[in-house]
């Protein structure tokens, strides 16, 4: 019955190899006693298989060529953007201007939490670090803000934590310390001043420090005051563009505390974060609108960054130093920082190597709550990628916590959940944003993630000035910026 049904099937159209193969198979089945017919059929079958294979390979090759050709083209929001090979000319300003904006604690991904049309506008018409900006270690506010403007790792610019002691003098650094001795390296506003140009800072760690040629000039340097409304900050920056063209500062900073404040209170996923991100987007919209009204939006380079990310924490993820007592006593006066960066400076007479060995023995014993989530190092034994050893200000013992864990001295009755940062900068949760918009940034360009120490050289390249030595790569700007044939 099967044989009859195949032999009486409709004749396939000519030129269809697969249909011919079906017909020939049917013929060979109809008369198995005919060896000549069988050999002929087998030959034709073999030829047809080769033909079908060749057609399939040709189609696959064509598809692969088209796929990889299109995938290699940078994503842009306009067809003309892919043709852009050099920077755009200034139309109103007579010199480049860079506005560096920080949104504290803006974890990478927050831009997708809610409708952010203004941030999105900068992204689609500019250049974005596709998977975020990598902070320096420790992923804290002051070390990272100062790394952004100096191009130096904390061990080299001196701000190794938000709070720390000077082991030589016993003096304590706090976020209100403005003495130049703490602030090493050369921040961008000082570099600009060294070239006889003007800079303006509306809040930024280190900007209030009188250092080198930078004197924090009245009217162009704001002393930190967290109560100043964000709108007022934006209005002040916009007012600089009302000055005569030659008087407009070539470099400006603008700082917002949000959404870091909310992140510490509720973690990265609370509705307060969404509201804060929407608020930052409104400020970016206000800024763009003001620049457009003055006719300079396309001339101004806007670089929007954060200093670090944020991760949720809770009391069930606590480690208590007092639990290490069976192995070693760690008094509170040895500890310079508890969490998320544990920093210990034992007094003379206690070998740091012995302290580290005994602490790790206890943490690995299985008898210390969450002990396996803390690893203690001599600072010189930390992973070299952290660049966190070459400073006497860094205590000799550093403990690194797993994501979301915290260290405290002893148990208390309080229960607290929220958010934190300061962890290993290799954690994706610690990443923040980088968005560049302006004449030297290609429209719709995505670049791989990079460390924030590269930003210093980006800015000096855009401003066409010589920067100070730093930890960034001198070749990095050429991988992100459009070539600049224009002379200003």
Residues 6+ apart with CB under 8 A from 310: 105, 107, 259, 260, 263, 264, 267, 268, 419, 420, 421, 429
* Helix ranges, 13-115 (H): 17-30, 35-71
Which of the following is catalytic: 76, 116, 127, 141?
A: 141
pLDDT at 487: 56
Q: What is the pLDDT of residues 432-488, one digit of tens each?
A: 999 999 999 999 999 999 999 999 999 999 999 999 999 999 999 999 999 987 655
> What pLDDT score does 154 carry?
98
Indicate the pairing of strand 97-103 with strand 300-305.
Answer: parallel
pLDDT at residue 84, rounded to an integer: 72
Query: Hey, is 302 helix, strand or coil?
Result: strand
User: Is the previous residue joined to 138 through a cis bond, with omega within 30 degrees of 0?
Assistant: yes
Does the active-site annotation cover 253? no
Under-50 pLDDT residues of the chain: 1-41, 44-46, 49, 52, 54, 56-81
């Amino acid at each position: 019955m099967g044989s009859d049904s195949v032999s009486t099937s409709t004749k396939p159209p000519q030129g269809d190899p697969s249909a011919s193969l079906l017909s020939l198979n049917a013929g060979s089945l109809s008369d198995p006693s005919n060896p000549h017919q069988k050999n002929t059929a087998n030959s034709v079958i073999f030829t047809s298989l080769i033909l079908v294979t060749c057609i399939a390979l040709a189609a696959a090759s064509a598809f692969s060529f088209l796929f990889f050709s299109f995938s290699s083209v940078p994503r842009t929001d306009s067809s003309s953007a892919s043709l852009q090979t050099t920077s755009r000319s200034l139309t109103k300003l007579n010199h480049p201007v860079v506005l560096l904006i920080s949104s504290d604690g803006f974890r990478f991904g927050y831009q997708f939490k809610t409708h952010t049309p203004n941030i999105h506008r900068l992204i689609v018409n500019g250049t974005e670090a596709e998977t975020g900006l990598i902070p320096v270690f420790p992923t804290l506010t002051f070390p990272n803000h100062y790394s952004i403007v100096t191009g130096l790792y904390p061990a080299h610019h001196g701000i190794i934590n938000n709070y720390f002691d000077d082991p030589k003098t016993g003096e304590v650094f706090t976020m209100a310390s403005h003495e130049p001795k703490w602030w090493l390296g050369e921040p961008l506003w000082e570099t600009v001043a060294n070239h006889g140009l003007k800079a303006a800072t509306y809040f930024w760690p280190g900007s209030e420090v009188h250092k080198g040629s930078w004197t924090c000039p009245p009217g162009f340097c704001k002393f930190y005051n967290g109560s100043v409304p964000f709108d007022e900050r934006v209005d002040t920056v916009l007012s600089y563009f009302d000055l005569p063209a030659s008087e407009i500062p070539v470099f400006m900073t603008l700082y917002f505390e949000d959404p870091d404040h909310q992140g510490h209170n509720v973690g990265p996923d609370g509705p307060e974060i969404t509201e804060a991100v929407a608020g930052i987007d409104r400020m970016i919209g206000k800024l763009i609108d003001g620049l457009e009204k003055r006719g300079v939006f396309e001339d101004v380079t806007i670089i929007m960054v954060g200093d670090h990310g944020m991760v949720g924490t809770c009391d069930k993820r606590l480690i208590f130093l007092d639990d290490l007592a069976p192995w070693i006593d760690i008094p509170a006066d040895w500890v310079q920082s508890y969490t998320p960066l544990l920093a210990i400076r034992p007094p003379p007479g206690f070998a740091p190597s012995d302290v580290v060995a005994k602490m790790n023995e206890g943490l690995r014993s299985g008898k210390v709550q969450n002990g396996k989530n803390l690893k203690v190092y001599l600072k010189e034994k930390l992973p070299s990628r952290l660049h966190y050893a070459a400073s006497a200000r860094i205590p000799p013992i550093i403990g690194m916590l797993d994501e979301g864990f915290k260290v405290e001295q002893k148990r208390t009755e309080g229960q607290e959940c929220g958010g934190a940062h300061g962890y290993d900068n290799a954690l994706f949760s610690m990443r923040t944003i980088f968005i560049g918009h302006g004449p030297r940034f290609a429209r719709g360009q995505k670049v791989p993630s990079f460390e924030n120490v590269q930003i210093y050289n980006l800015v000096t390249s855009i401003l066409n000035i010589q920067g100070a030595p730093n930890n960034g790569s001198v070749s990095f700007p050429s991988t992100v910026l459009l070539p600049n044939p224009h002379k200003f």
